[in-house]
Structure formats: C-alpha cells, structure tokens
C-alpha cells in the first residue's frame, strides 16, 4: 500500500479485500506458470527436442481434476469428426446395387494409408475410432441379418 493513503471504515474489511486480491493473484500466477510449462513442454515435443508423452504431466497439472472429463470430451469430438469424414467418404463411392454394407466391409479392409486417402488426414486415434465404428456397424448388421 502506498504511504499517505488512509482507509476509512472497517479496517478488517479492507484487510480482507487486500488479502483476497493477493490470494487471487497468487492463484492466477501459479496457474499461468503451469500453463507456460505445459506450452514449453508441448513445443519441445513438437520440435522433437523431447519424447512424445513428456508433455503429459504438465498438461495434466494445468487441467487439474477435470483432466479425464476434458480428455473424454475432446476424444468424442474427434470421433464425431472422423465419423462425419467417414460418412462423406462412404457417400462418395456408390455400389452397383446401392448397398452401403459392402462399402463398410471394404473400408474395414483398407490399410491406414488408404483410409487417409479416402477420408482426409486422420490421426492414429481417429483411424482407431473409424475402425471401431465400422466394426460396430458390421457387428450390428450381422446380428440383424441372423
């Protein structure tokens, strides 16, 4: 506090407001330091100065207890995006009989690079998701036909 400033009123309230502000600033500063560490670690992994996975601990420190829910939410968004790409790719390759199931089987048999060519750039996680969706479609179809 600057010299010469006088607080009027309840000194306890003024003291509490100053302490609350300091506590809030300390929390923000700590969080910003965690964010900076995570960004640093991500950049080092992206530039191959560290091994993949070395950034995970710092990211989890930033996300805190919400980390599992946030990871699940992001995975779901990526799976939905991969599914939309897959639907678009399936729609672009018509079969003579108009059947979609033969195309699903064909996509299940494709290599990862063929899937990337047909669906656009996919990460390894998105490819695993696409394969899981395709296998689920086939399993449901076989159960329905049985």
14 Cβ contact list (under 8 Å, min separation 6): 7
Could you tell me which residue, 59 or 11, shows the higher pLDDT? 59
Q: How far is CA 42 from CA 12, 15, 77, in A?
A: 45, 41, 21
Task: Look up the pTM and report it.
Answer: 0.38
- pLDDT tens digits, residue range 120-145? 777 888 888 888 888 887 777 666 66
**How does pLDDT run across 70-122, given as a tens digit for each residue?**
888 888 888 888 888 877 776 666 555 555 555 677 777 788 888 777 777 77
14 pLDDT above the threshold of 60: no
């Amino acid at each position: 506090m600057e010299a010469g400033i006088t607080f009027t009123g309840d000194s306890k309230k003024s003291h509490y407001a100053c302490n609350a502000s300091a506590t809030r600033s300390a929390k923000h500063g700590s969080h910003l330091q965690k964010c900076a560490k995570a960004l640093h670690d991500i950049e080092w992994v992206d530039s191959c100065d560290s091994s993949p996975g070395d950034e995970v601990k710092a990211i989890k420190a930033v996300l805190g207890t919400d980390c599992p829910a946030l990871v699940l939410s992001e995975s779901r968004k990526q799976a939905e995006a991969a599914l939309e790409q897959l639907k678009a790719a399936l729609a672009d390759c018509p079969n003579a009989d108009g059947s979609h199931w033969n195309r699903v089987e064909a996509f299940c048999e494709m290599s990862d690079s063929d899937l990337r060519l047909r669906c656009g750039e996919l990460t390894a996680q998105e490819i695993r998701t696409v394969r899981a969706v395709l296998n689920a479609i086939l399993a449901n179809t076989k159960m329905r036909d049985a």
